[in-house]
Structure 1
Amino acid sequence: MRKILAYPLTVVYFIVFGLLLVIFHPVQWLCFNVFGYQAHKKSVDVLNFFLAYSLLLLGDWIIFRNPHNIPTDKPCIIVANHQSMYDISPIIWHMRKHHPKFISKKELGRGIPSISYNLRHGGSALIDRKDKEQAFKEIINIANYANKNNRSVVIFPEGTRSRDGKPKRFQTGGLKILLKKMPNAHVVPISINNSWKTLRYGKFPMGIGINITFDVHKPLGARDLPAEELIEKVEEIVSNGIKA
């Protein structure tokens, strides 16, 4: 019965989701080209508020728990597990005061209204997973950008999303670069639960009636421990918060 109900709800959701992307694409363009970074960021924040909470159309609810008053005087390295594309919008909206930028695969930088535009112009890094040299250069560039402009970098060190919610081992190369290039940053672990269930039936229909949770853990300093030990500790914190 739940899956049958999911079909019409998913159709409605996809229509709303698509309209949001199409409507906000020219809004982003106007903000970026006429009014500059701050206006563009606000347009992206508002878009992602609507994208995140449009999941209510499916009976899915976002629960974002951030009990820590993370200072904004330094950039952040936000480290999270990855379960679906629906991990992105809640992080952008709820961590908006930290100006989150993403390390994303280059394929997402074209062809998707609003999303591709923001990835190309909003300060994120687009990497080629098949070209390690290019990927490392992009990560260095985004780290330097974050340091200079007091932005935050979001990284999903698992590399690819978990299709069943179970945590994957971190791939540490990109995170090591960020820690090296952003020595004064706050390292903010986030554990994401249940967003994989939005795709429990595949791409269509979507899962309904899901509580998707984001638990922001106490931040660490990028220089609190040697890089290897810090990465191991962050991975343990993130993994322990996953209830797969």
Structure 2
Amino acid sequence: MILLKNLLYWLCVSIFTVFHFMYVAVSLLFGVKVANRACTQWALTLVWLLEHIIGLKYEVKGLENIPDEPVVICCKHQSGWETLILQKFFRPIVFVAKKELFKIPFFGWGLKLAGTIGIDRKDRLGASRQLLEVGGLRKKQGFSIAIFPEGTRIKPGLRGRYKLGGARIANTLEMPIVPVALNSGEFWPKNSFMKYPGTISVVVGKPINPVGQGPEAVMQQVETWIEGQQRLIEGRGPFANKPVAAEQDERTGS
């Protein structure tokens, strides 16, 4: 039954994506914010399909912590689900992503049209410059900026190396950081065709003011808060990781 539901989900996603992309492309004629809004509609439709076809629901705590101004969102990254749901709570929003994603038909093209900040992870200096230049422009346009500080998807129960890009954006552009913890990987395994029913837990933290602090100090606060919350919400899904020791972390960053 789960397989059939996933096949139906992917069929709906494929058909909807092809037709909706034309709407996104036309919306670009009215500016990046309109195109971004059209892409957000695509993302929220996928969230609806996941909930009503797969049975993948969610619960959120801490929405009152989201300020009414552009922020840098530093979010735990376990699956593709968070790239969808963050667009519901932070509007408008752009993501920081590796520029190779822009080559993916429809999905990648939509990312680029939506104003995503594409970086070349092999060129660290160029990536940092791109983050600040385009990030500054997106802030002026009223966008919040979402970045996954571990740089890649991390399996549930594990921890990657937290990089400083998000803290540098926040420091340079004087934007508060909002940390987000979640356990989506317990229901949507990495690189898996299958998604599984259940309820994802999301926790939004209070904004962290970067002014007067260095990037290292800021990111340490982000990491401490996120990983503390992860311990409270993990272990609820079918693909939850059961670590050998409570404090065992993976710091490979891959």
Alignment TM-score > 0.5, same fold:
yes
Which runs of 5 or more structure 1 residues have no equivalent in the other structure?
Answer: none
How far has the Cα of 1:224 moved from its partner? 5.8
1:47 counterpart residue number: 42
2:237 counterpart residue number: none
Look up the equivalent residue of 1:137 and give its one-letter code: R
Range with bigger deviation, 100-109 or 190-199: 190-199
Partner of 1:199: helix, strand, or coil?
A: coil
Range with bigger deviation, 61-70 or 12-21: 61-70
Are the equivalent residues in 2 in contact too, given 1:75–1:146 (CA < 8 A)?
no
1:12 counterpart residue number: 8
Please show how residues 1-244 of structure 1 align to structure 2 within 5 Å: 5-33=1-29, 35-56=30-51, 57-68=53-64, 70-72=66-68, 74-96=69-91, 99-113=92-106, 115-172=107-164, 174-183=165-174, 185-199=175-189, 203-204=192-193, 206-223=194-211, 225-242=213-230, 243-244=233-234
Residue by residue, what CA displacement relative to the aligned partner does 1:2-37 show, whole Å, maximum 9, x if unpaired? xxx32111101111111221121000011112x333
How far has the Cα of 1:239 moved from its partner? 0.9
TM-score, normalised with respect to structure 1: 0.86
CA distance in 2, matches of 1:92, 1:48: 7
Which runs of 5 or more structure 2 residues have no equivalent in the other structure?
Answer: 235-254
CA gap 1:227/1:14 in 2 versus in 1, 3 angstroms: same
CA distance in 2, matches of 1:101, 1:67: 19
CA distance in 1, matches of 2:124, 2:158: 26
How far has the Cα of 1:226 moved from its partner? 3.4
Residue by residue, what CA displacement relative to the aligned partner does 1:130-154 show, whole Å, maximum 9, x if unpaired? 1212211221123211332232110
CA distance in 1, matches of 2:172, 2:135: 6
Cα root mean square deviation, aligned = 2.0
CA gap 1:90/1:241 in 2 versus in 1, 3 angstroms: same
CA distance in 2, matches of 1:70, 1:111: 32
Q: Give the share of equivalent positions with the same residue, in percent.
A: 23
Are the equivalent residues in 1 in contact too, given 2:36–2:113 (CA < 8 A)?
no
Partner of 2:63: helix, strand, or coil?
A: coil
Residue by residue, what CA displacement relative to the aligned partner does 1:58-115 show, whole Å, maximum 9, x if unpaired? 111122334325332x32010011001111010012212xx211110111112231x3
